[in-house]
Every structure is written in C-alpha cells, then in structure tokens.
Amino acid sequence: MTIREEIELLEKQQLSPLAMAASDSAGRERVEEPDILRTCFMRDRDRIIHSKAFRRLNQKTQVYITPSGDHYRTRLTHTLEVNQIAKTIGKALRLNEDLMEAIALAHDVGHTPFAHTGEEVLNELMPGGFKHNVNSVRVLSRIEKHKNMPGLNLSKEVLDGVLYHSGYGKATDHAATLEGQIIRFSDKIAYVQHDIDDSIRAGVLKEEDLPEEYTAVLGHSHGDRITTLVKDLVQHAQKLMKNAVSRDEITLCFTPEVDNAMQGLRAYMFEHVYQSGICSMERERAALVVRYLFEHYSKYPEQMPALYQQIVLEEGISQGVCDYISGMSDAYCIAAFKEITMPRSFIS
C-alpha cells in the first residue's frame, strides 16, 4: 500500500460520510497516474501554489489601489485568510481540508488588476461580459500550463468549487461539494471583515460608524465578528448534516439572525466603501489604464506574449487581450501603460 492509499483510507475512516473523499473524486480532464505520496486534491493544491497566477496575487489590489502602507490586504493575503477560515470550519465538520485548501488558494486567480475596477472595465469591453470566478476557471484550465499542456489539469471538484465561490444572498447555484460551499462563505466572511479593518486603518471608517443593529449581533471587533460567523456556520451546518443521507440534500447557510446582520454589514460596505466616492480618483485612473491597454493590444496584438497571440488566432482578439490584461498585476499593468505612453527617458 502506498502512502497515498494510506491517506485515502484514513479519509474514509475519519472524515464525515458527507465529505468529498479524494478516492471518490470524479477525476481530471486528462487521466494521470496516481501519485505515490499525495492524493489528487493535495496535488492540485501544490500545482496551484506553484503557478504564476497564484504568485501574481501578491501584487493585485484587494480594495485600496496603491495604498500607502504595508499592512493593507492584497489578493494574496485575502486568499490566505479565506483558506484559514475555511480550514477551521472544515475541520470542525470533518470535511476534506485538502480539497478546501486547493479551492481557497485558487478561487481568485482570475481576478483583474485594480480590484473590481478592472473587472468592471473588462465586463464592459468583453462581448460576453467578464466574471472573475469564470475567469479563474479559465486561468486554471487554459492559461496556466502543466507538462507543456494547457491548464493545470485539476480535479473536477476543485474547478467546481472555484466556479461557484462567488455570489451571496439570492444565488441558488452552489458547489457540488460541502467543501466548495464552505469556500463561498469563507470568502464573504474574510473580505467583509478585513475590508472593514483596512477601511478603519485608512481612516475611511471608524468602528463606531458601523450600524449597531448589525454589530450587536456579530460583534464589535474584527476578531469577534469572524468568530461569530464561523461558529454560526459550523453549528448550523452540523444540524443540517445530522440527518442528511447525501451532500446533495444540503445547502449551507447562516442562521437567519446572523445572515441578516452579515447581509446588512456587507450592504453597508458596498454603499460606503466599494461603490462610494472614496478613492474615486484612483479608480478612475485605473479604469483609464485598463481601457487604454485593451484598445492598444486590440490594435497591436503582436506586442503581447506568444501565448496570447495564439489565443487571438484560436478564440479571437477580445479573448486574447482580455486574458493578457486580466492576468496582469497592478504593477505590471502600470508598467505596460508607461512603456506604451511615455518616453523611455521619463520612465528610467
């Protein structure tokens, strides 16, 4: 028996019957020989961590564009916080932590530079629109490479969890696994709370500005609110899982009181931070940069790397340009803009 097989046996013995065991995976698009040491989900996690798209998250904006401080979240630190929250929830529910970690680490690799500003611009410019969750799957399945083949060839459960991590509230579609559903909630828990923390750090908000009707339920500090949300999701999930025969029967959610508070606090952040006039000049400048680059590379696709020129030939100019720009970090996007628009003597 290999070490991988021992791990898979332990999963069957220790995980909840509703968990997604690695040995029950639906597999990959391209069949591969099993690893001696790692389960399929462990291999997926490792491929994601070693991908270029994952590394670029370190220089992609979370909310504040080019903040003047070292302690603001980036897409990478957000991703790590989502992973930590998800694994805490998953361990409590005896679910597959390797699967959750793979989904968590991959869920935002399709995000654009300049946070949602970049996403909004590409959504306007692309004929079929642009959604970062769909693009994350594209990055993992088409843009990144494994053994000189398109895509990382990840397990179907990981790609499903990435695809359905986005959205909150009235959305009816959700991941096929409980592990994937947990990432969706962990993402919301993480970004609403750490965006509040960053907004307080930036002087945009004060703790006392937050609506008391919501903080009275969730807590009056960053840590207290995360604890409340995590405990509520775990305890409610335990009740849902108790008599369930199949994971297909379960749609995870918060209890009504906590869900109402979470929705209210999220709506408050949209009104007062995400869609407000705060940092509007930076967002306008970022939008200008993305639009300019899209128009430029649409006229001169030969200036893009070979991979994206090939996509242009196979899938059209808009798709190739979108893939190139959406993969850029904030810093690379600005550098490309300067390279095109400014004399070299000004740049150096």
**Distance from the first to the final alpha carbon of the chain:** 60
pLDDT, tens digit only, all 348 positions of the chain? 999 999 999 999 999 999 999 999 999 999 999 999 999 999 999 999 999 999 999 999 876 555 555 667 889 999 999 999 999 999 999 999 999 999 999 999 999 999 889 999 999 999 999 999 999 999 999 999 999 999 999 999 999 999 999 876 555 689 999 999 999 999 999 988 988 988 888 888 899 999 999 999 999 999 999 999 999 999 999 999 998 999 999 999 999 999 999 999 999 988 888 777 666 777 888 999 999 999 999 999 999 999 999 999 999 999 999 999 999 999 999 999 999 997 765 555
User: Measuring CA to CA, which residue among 225, 237, 106 is closest to residue 165?
Assistant: 106
Given this model, what pLDDT does residue 69 score? 57
User: Measuring CA to CA, which residue among 334, 316, 187, 332 is closest to residue 252?
Assistant: 187
Alpha-carbon distance of 132 to 112, in angstroms, equals 7
Given this model, what pLDDT does residue 198 score? 85
The position carrying tokens 């335990």 is: 238
Given this model, what pLDDT does residue 118 score? 94
Given this model, what pLDDT does residue 194 score? 87
User: Measuring CA to CA, which residue among 175, 215, 213, 208 is closest to residue 193?
Assistant: 215
Given this model, what pLDDT does residue 107 score? 97
Given this model, what pLDDT does residue 279 score? 65
Tokens of 84: 């930590």
**Domain regions of the chain by residue span:** 3-24+34-278
pTM score of the predicted model: 0.95
Tokens of 344: 């070299």
Q: What is the 3-state secondary structure (H, E, C) of the chain?
A: CCHHHHHHHHHHHHCCCCCCCHHHCCCCCCCCCCCCCCCHHHHHHHHHHCCHHHHHHHHCECCCCCCCCCCCCEHHHHHHHHHHHHHHHHHHCCCCHHHHHHHHHHCCCCCCCCHHHHHHHHHHHCCCCCCHHHHHHHHHHHHCEECCEEECCCCHHHHHHHHCCCCCCCCCCCCCCHHHHHHHHHHHHHHHHHHHHHHHHCCCCCHHHCCHHHHHHHCCCHHHHHHHHHHHHHHHHHHHHHCCCCHHHCCCCCCHHHHHHHHHHHHHHHHHHHCCCCCHHHHHHHHHHHHHHHHHHHHCHHHCCHHHHHHHHHHCHHHHHHHHHHCCCHHHHHHHHHHHHCCHHHHC
Q: Which CATH superfamily is domain 3-24+34-278 in?
A: Hypothetical protein af1432 (1.10.3210.10)
Amino acid in position 105:
L
Amino acid in position 127:
P
Given this model, what pLDDT does residue 341 score? 92
Given this model, what pLDDT does residue 342 score? 77
